[in-house]
Structure 1
């Protein structure tokens, strides 16, 4: 018949390439044989088929069976053996076996093991209260025990099984490991020193590998080399070491030439509105202890006014002033020992050092703004576009938060405009802003594109609070 021919071809194709070993599957009511109780049932003699088969119909299958001797360990009389086992393995036998296992287990747990003795083999234990009605059943494996547990108890048993599979050393560590705050400070300082050495080694070469510097800076820049690293990553300084001193001198001279040429015009009618707005915004900045120092206020006024005059397409826009602070703090930290630069006394810094810091701050801020200037042109189209992109991003990564905001008529522009306008400088402490900018500067379009993902991460991080909120208008007031 056609079906027999197709079946024959099937067995021929797979006759020599069927791997694995097929084992019997026992149900909960039919446990496996116990060799101690039913040793006579299992023999090593080869199985002989009780019913002869026709060679013409089964020859192909017999060839397949002989070529895969590891696939079947039992013959065609398995049903008879299973029937015998079902009759012999009654409840009394099962109970007796279970109690014997429990006794052996308790004796081994209570009796100390002599030195040099081998590890006892693990035996399954049975809890009489585990089964309904006190019915004791042998557990063949952990997976079977999970399968036989009720849904309510499965989750409770899971941690126990997981902890039993852990190494013994890990279990001890869970109970006696020191708190994270108790970690050795020397080990921490060693890691910091090792990281600093990597930066110094990279920066000491005749030509700094900027790509490698970006990779190293992505996870943070050590304070001693942060200033020089920022100048390199922003494109203010060249990668060649020999060219850096001349570049610094030229750029600093160029900046103060702008001061001499433009700054006196701040009181002219055409520029006085710009200067007045800058003069009003600077005292509102933070940290106040630093910004309100007269020398710092003058530096910020000059930087912002010169930038506005030289970029008439946007001019000065509120929010640009907050982008000066991180650069100024990082660059001034090269010359002061104060651990907290937020309140450092700038009056102790020499005048020539302040001039260098002012010029470096101006040029690095200008490099940053060159990449996001459309944020500050008329109608601020860059911010409008970024807010729209952020909305699309959140709708993809967390649709529930996105839908919740829409249901409560919260527009992304209402709360993310300042995130884009100030680059989160008003939302984060200064030290966090500096650390975040380490990563921004290591990204090719960090302030323009990567910033969107940081904003989205904020929303996802506080999604629980957002989803619980029902009155966003009260929060904003």
Structure 2
């Protein structure tokens, strides 16, 4: 494949300029940044001079300087308490019987004092209506999922409709198995299917991975290089036992799919499946809190097999992204460019004026499904919707990328040169993102899909 054997991942090579610094570095570090040079005239030239565009992920970085923030908050709170006590003294609020008789019941005075002074113990708690409403909505949502999943056979269309807005964490593993088509909707067949498919996967391990004949050393070598780059800031994915599981999944998939073979970036796509199925056996903790030694071997085997089969189902729908010259990605990048002409002409013209090619940043977005642009938990939330949309990982992903690019429009327009725009696009500050930001992107993506998916002429008219 074109993007193998990269010496320095995460960089655009000399045809586009010097290497950009790793994530989190800037010009102030003294590291050279990409400078506009000559551009590749076609995709062949691009693939010859482009590395795999790997960087440290944004999702595991933490905000810096929190100590100063906490100190400021503490001082502000202390000053507020002092001022509130002054107000209470001026207004004469007291819990004495005399004042209670003159000014109303003691309950009313207690509430009045609490309005002025947050330090006063709250004898009569006031419910947080926003939190209460959220909990009620989550409870209703959970009940709806449980009702659908209790049916036999399970109505997959009802399940898809519910999953669009996100899946409750405890029901995500079974929902993903159903949505990918790995798990049958008939409950009488589910246990037998899982046992058979898991056994079949480990027969592949014995025959293909552990076999001594026809072992593809080139493919295995590239996989070995890429595995440590998979979520490098999450300790779990740096453990040898987990990396071996990923090696087996990727090698077996590549040997069974010779039309494409292994392509850099596919390693990222194992992570959401692996994390979701892992949550079933680790008490739904985040992967940072997991001690792999606590897990049983039989659980790890099931997770590995399920991740393999679900990855296979996913890649079957976007196979042209990974065949020779990756035509699926090329067409999607071109479609993104046409779409941006219509929905944000100002940003599109800004990129054109600075000679920033969409291929320089959007190739990775399409190749890795934004896995390297947003936190892992955001990717998992995004995949809830992708699996509920028809051709979600291919067609709907285009509109998500358009909404994602438009989200940064103002900041990108403020960058005045090629170098600034490209560095911004390669280091977007999404490490703090949660479901709210993803829901906003998804809402706009759905709006774009409704406007353009069934009306391709909209992309052609007035697109100059």
Shorter-chain TM range is 0.5 to 0.7
1:340 aligns with 2:286: yes
Compute the displacement of 1:246 (Å). 1.1
Q: Partner of 2:223: helix, strand, or coil?
A: helix
Question: What are structure 2's unaligned runs of at least 5 residues?
Answer: 1-115, 117-126, 424-464
Match of 1:298 among 244, 250, 271: 244
Contact 1:338-1:344 at 8 Å conserved across structures: no
Note if contact 2:170-2:284 (Cα within 8 Å) is conserved in structure 1. Answer: no
Any residues of structure 2 matched to 1:227-376 within 5 Å, and which?
227-265=173-211, 271-286=216-231, 287-337=233-283, 339-376=285-322
Say whether the 8 Å CA contact 1:282–1:300 is kept in structure 2.
Answer: yes
The one of 169, 186, 194 aligned to 1:223: 169
Deviations 1:232-256 (A, max 9, x none): 1111111111111111111111111
Root-mean-square deviation over aligned CA pairs: 2.1
CA distance in 2 between partners of 1:207 and 1:326 (Å)? 27
Give the whole-Å Cα distance in 2 for the aligned partners of 1:459 and 1:185: 32
Larger RCO of the pair (alpha carbons < 8 Å, separation 6+): 2
Instruction: Give the TM-score normalised by the residue count of structure 1.
Output: 0.60
Report how many aligned residue pairs link the two structures: 299
SS at match of 1:442: coil
Q: 1:441 aligns with which of 350, 362, 387?
A: 387
**1:408: which partner in 2?**
354
- Once residues 215 and 249 of structure 1 are traced to their aligned partners in structure 2, the CA distance between those partners, rounded to angstroms, is 28
Q: 8 Å contact 2:249–2:308 — kept in the other structure?
A: yes
- Indicate if the aligned counterparts of 1:327 and 1:361 stay in contact, CA closer than 8 A: yes
Equivalent of 1:377 in 301, 323, 328: 323
Q: Per the alignment, in what secondary structure is the counterpart of residue 336 of structure 2?
A: helix
Query: Cα–Cα, structure 1 residues 461 and 424, in superposed 2: closer, same or farther, change >3 Å?
Result: same
Q: CA deviation at 1:474?
A: 4.0
Shift of 1:183: 4.4
Q: CA deviation at 1:472?
A: 2.7
Query: How far apart, in 2, do the equivalents of 1:185 and 1:431 lie?
Result: 21
Instruction: Give the secondary-structure state (helix, strand or coil) at the position aligned to 2:324.
Output: coil
Tell me the TM-score normalised to structure 2 length: 0.62
**Shift in alpha-carbon separation, 1:269–1:209, aligned structure 2, 3 A:** closer
Q: Distance in 2 between matches of 1:239 and 1:399?
A: 45
Q: Is the 8 A contact 2:236 2:290 kept in 1?
A: yes
- Cα deviation, residue 470, structure 1: 1.4
Match of 1:295, SS state, is helix
d(CA) in 2 for partners of 1:318, 1:447: 17
Instruction: Indicate how the Cα distance of structure 1 residues 450 and 200 shifts in structure 2: closer, same or farther if over 3 A, else same.
Output: same
Aligned to 1:450: 396
